[in-house]
A and B are shown apart, each in its own frame.
Chain A
Amino acid sequence: MDEAPAGTPRPGQSDDAVDGVIRTRALTKRYRGGQLAVDRLDLTVPKGSVFGFLGPNGSGKTTTIRMLMGLIEPTSGTAHVLGHPVPRAARTVLPHVGALIEGPALYGFLSGRDNLLRYDAADPTADPRTRTARVAAALDRVGLTAAAGKKAKAYSLGMKQRLGLAAALLRPRKLLVLDEPTNGLDPQGMREIRSLVRQLASDGTTVFVSSHLLDEIEQMCTHAAVMTHGRLVTQGPVAELAAGARGRLVVTTPDAGEAARVLKEQGVGDLVVTGDRVSGQVPKRDLAEVNAALVTAGVRVRGFGVQRASLEDAFVALTGEGFDVAG
């Protein structure tokens, strides 16, 4: 892996020379065993987005993140982070990137504070004069100030996760890459992380967050991409992805049989009758007319509406499988 001289400033060259904070083209990784972990990935992460990276375990998310961070070399294809090619320009790019990859990793025999001091010392572009202040600020930001002097091996999983996040926040970052950031946290901790991510995003930091928790992505992210078996299934704004999986028309009525007949006449396909509940694809025509037709036909309607599709429905529709199936 070629290493560019650290921190060479390139005045005049903007990161936007290449569109997107992260952009990959036909990025492929085949491990030595022949296993294809990532297959021709075309990913574009817009600047300022909170980008959710979804996929079951083993779908290639972490391999992708490791390629973006210059830890592993792609078999073929290109990856740009902040406008620079990785892994070639990794040392120019990475000081601007905070990362939490596959959980935190700490020196158990060092205190939380000393762990951060060590990670900061590893960055040749980090000013040692502000080191202790920045470490204290990062500890404060994740709520670990009180436990900063404790040995890291005495930390709970949640505290380790927070310390890992603090390491990612040691310096002002343009991009944060967070791999499963809420792993091991209690619900209160999860809420705190989500609000931290929102706060960072509102400061203008682009956040790339991988998760297998769909509702988490739905709550946090503006954009999302879905991977399965090393391939990118879809990417785009979260609202569009959820809309892509169309909702279903649901009618609740004691006259289910009659309702199904009328709905079929009205052009509603894929009808399913279960007890007093009739559901089907949302027709193209005005739903008010469909409802009027039901009433005209004497169907006693208790409930009538469209059930909104969730990201999970979108995922199942796209991959044809449950979410937690290991790829």
Chain B
Amino acid sequence: MSRAETAGPAAGTTGSSPAAHPLWTLGLLRSELATVFRRWRTRALLGVLAAVPVLVGVAVRIETRDGSPAGGEGPPFIAQVSNNGLFLVFTALAATLPFFLPMAVGVVAGDAIAGEASAGTLRYLLVAPAGRTRLLLTKSAAVLAFCLAATFVVAVVALGAGAVLFPVGDLTTISGTRIGFGEGLWRALLIALVVAASLIGIAALGLFVSTLTDSGIAAMATTVGLLIGMQIVDQIPQLHAVHPYLVSHYWLSFADLMREPVLWDDLVKNLELQALYAAVFGSAAWARFTTRDVTV
């Protein structure tokens, strides 16, 4: 504490004002990532996500034990899983993208600011001083990291389960052409990245909701509620005029990466829509968070 003593008598002069080292400011991001991923709730969410491909894989394995192909209704690609374990990656992502993945992202994003507010830790971060813009950017980066982590948990567990339960090898694209296993893995990585990017919109929406309230639970519930609402609207043909603006509308376009050649139209539309959500709700979150009174 020698620094405390020497600095004491100098109190009242900011001549020795401490300067922010550019690299030191990244300390908050490291701390944020550690805080998010050490939280029991985050691990539970990732655990649930990891269970989905295992369940799907085991179910397909049991159903196709007698050699019959997995048929009937189900997520895209499920019929091919028994022939090639790599398809379990696509099936698992297709099964989790409509609900489990965005719900998990909604929980983490909705809690990002509102959770700190309801715990009271927000005021201490701000007087540290974290800086409101810096804190919001850090939170956004951590939520995006969670989007990526959640998607890769599903993809990697699916790849592992697929390799254990089913044969792997060359695969047939939707267009009917054959591609090698290496090329298949490459496509799987690309699809995982596109799926992670598909979650950006809901992440931005969740962050914005999170700046509106001081209750973490309310922010999470609102975000997940909006997600469900948009998916219901997406199912009503009479409302087709708004469909292209729903965050979930182009989600399943990632399957187009399995065509030969790749059909880019909807993929690009999806990424554009996610960027639009990020821009609109990101700015709204910034405008709200940098001007609000922190009274909790």
Residues of A within 8 A of B (CB): 1, 3, 6-16, 21, 47-48, 66, 69-73, 82-84, 90-97, 99, 101-103, 105-110, 117-128, 131, 137, 141, 167, 169, 171-175, 200, 203-206
Contacts and interface: CB of A to CB of B under 8 A. Distances in A.
- With most chain B CB atoms within 10 A of its CB, the pick from A6, A70, A119, A200 is A6
B294 interface: yes
- With most chain A CB atoms within 10 A of its CB, the pick from B38, B291, B295 is B295
B9 A124 contact: no
A125 B123 CA distance: 18
A175 B295 CA distance: 22
Interface stretch (B23-31, B142-150, B160-168, B226-234): B23-31
B125 interface: yes
A95 B18 contact: yes
A73 B292 CA distance: 8
B67 interface: no
Given A1-B291, A8-B19, A95-B129, 5 more contacts: A82-B14, A91-B129, A122-B129, A141-B1, A174-B7
B119 A124 contact: no
A172 B4 contact: yes
A9 B35 CA distance: 31
Interface string B1-20: 10111111111111111111
Given A1-B291, A103-B120, A109-B40, A205 B128 contact: no
Given A7-B19, A66-B295, A107-B35, A92 B121 contact: no
A109 B38 contact: yes
A9 B294 contact: no
A48 B293 contact: no
B177 interface: no
Contacts, number: 178
Range of interface residues on chain B?
A: 35 or more
B17 A107 contact: no
Nearest to B1: A137
B275 interface: no
Nearest to A117: B31
Contacts of A11: 15
B11 A6 contact: no
Contact of A118 (B5, B18, B35): B35
B36 to A, nearest CB: 11
B126 A203 contact: no
A14 B14 CA distance: 7
Contacts of A137: 1
Contacts of B294: 66, 71-72
Contact of B124 (A119, A126, A172): A119
A10 B19 CA distance: 11
B133 interface: yes
B134 A124 contact: yes
B31 A96 contact: no
B31 A122 contact: yes
B131 interface: yes
30 contacts: A3-B131, A14-B15, A15-B12, A48-B11, A66-B123, A69-B126, A70-B127, A70-B129, A71-B127, A90-B129, A93-B14, A108-B119, A110-B38, A120-B128, A122-B28, A123-B130, A124-B28, A125-B20, A125-B21, A125-B24, A127-B21, A128-B24, A172-B4, A172-B8, A174-B7, A203-B5, A204-B9, A204-B11, A205-B8, A205-B11
